[in-house]
Amino acid sequence: MTPQLSHKQPTAPDGRRYPEIERFLDYLKSQKNVSSHTLTAYRNDLDQFSIFIASHLGIGDMRNFLPEQLAVVDVRLYMGYLLKNGLQPKSIARKLATLKSFYRYLQHIGIIRTSVLAYVTTPKYPRTVPGFLTEQQTEKLFGEVLSGSSADASRSGAQDIQEQFELERDRALLEVLYSCGLRISELTGLEMHNLSLENGYVKITGKGNKQRIVPLGSCAVEALKKYFEVRRNFFRIFLKGDAGALAHVFVTKKGKKIYPMLVQRITRKYLTPVTEQKERNPHILRHSFATHLLNSGADLKSVSEMLGHSSLTTTEIYTHVTFSRLSEVYRKAHPKA
């Protein structure tokens, strides 16, 4: 009987997880330096696959499973099972990518000679265009909205050192997100030694512990300088210490490393007056960074490197706006358009 797909994360019980899965995950962690989130996703995908295969092939103990037992039709039945249970083609494609990676590992260590997954085609799915701010909305965010927050605090008489600390931190945080196109994990993990305000760049540790250097815009540099000045005063008063001793760039009012949920709240707070898009999260500023650069003539390879993408294909999704802009320019300027 085919197992029902649960909304909870699948966990293969003892005997229903193929032992090489644990070794594969250890390999990813130690040799490929993948993030904990990626490891969790891989584990869930492979556990789900193990449970399905154990049921489908009638294997009571997956320690007896032989990877070469798997046929193309079995994989396609698994994909059909996922589709029947409501998964979208994009999610199925991701799970298939996990299986292909696992089978390449099995081939690499000599357990199998060829991978059956090499003969399975990844399902096509429409690539959604990421949300982004227009340049006018960006100007509104960093001008009217953030300046208005400062004025409101002043008028209410509540702009004490704590409120000023949070305001300048939030301003610097948003400037860095937009200036450098960072992922939320890259922002929260940013440490003081990663910054070079004098030279105008920041060193980022991205996915798979890959490092890259990204230019830091002048507005972001000025916002950081002001934030650090306010931060020093704040912690001298409230913690009787010096914020210069804090390792992380962005911290809470308790001096702790800023966390993703707080970054989400900050971006939602300041983006709400700017855009009506449903998603008002830090990734919108990353998308805006890439879109605005390409619209202004930056080459795809440079933008890809700054974003930390491992493939140009991932960056190409941002070219939709560039092409639209070029088409508009062409229609207005070409005599025979």
For residue range 207-222, list pLDDT tens digits in order.
Answer: 777 889 999 999 999 9
Catalytic residue at 283?
yes
Q: Which residue has tokens 């650069």?
A: 293
CA 40 vs. chain centroid, Å, equals: 15
Which pLDDT score, from 0 to 100, does residue 156 have? 44
Domain 135-333 has CATH 1.10.443.10: yes
Residue 324 has pLDDT above 60, yes or no: no
Rg of the chain over all Cα atoms, to the nearest angstrom: 24
Q: How far is residue 109's CA from residue 131's CA, in Å, rounded to a whole number? A: 42
Catalytic residue at 207?
yes
The catalytic position among 169, 280, 286, 287 is 286
Catalytic residue at 169?
no
The catalytic position among 23, 29, 207, 253 is 207
In terms of phi and psi (left: phi > 0; alpha: psi -120 to 50; beta: otherwise), the region of 6 is beta
For 248-291, how does the pLDDT look when each residue is reduced to its tens digit (9 = 90+)? 999 998 889 999 999 999 999 999 998 888 778 898 999 889 88
Domain 19-119 has CATH 1.10.287.70: no
Residue 130 has pLDDT above 90, yes or no: no
Q: How far is residue 275's CA from residue 58's CA, in Å, rounded to a whole number? A: 53
pTM summary value: 0.66
Nearest to 325 by CA among 284, 278, 293, 287: 293
Catalytic residue at 105?
no
- The residue-averaged pLDDT of 33-60 equals 89
The catalytic position among 23, 104, 183, 236 is 183
- The residue-averaged pLDDT of 35-46 equals 88
Buried b or exposed e, range 76-115, using 16+ CB within 10 angstroms: eebbebbeeeebeeeebeebbebbbbbbebbbeeeebeeb
End-to-end CA distance of the chain: 61
Domain ranges of the chain: 19-119, 135-333
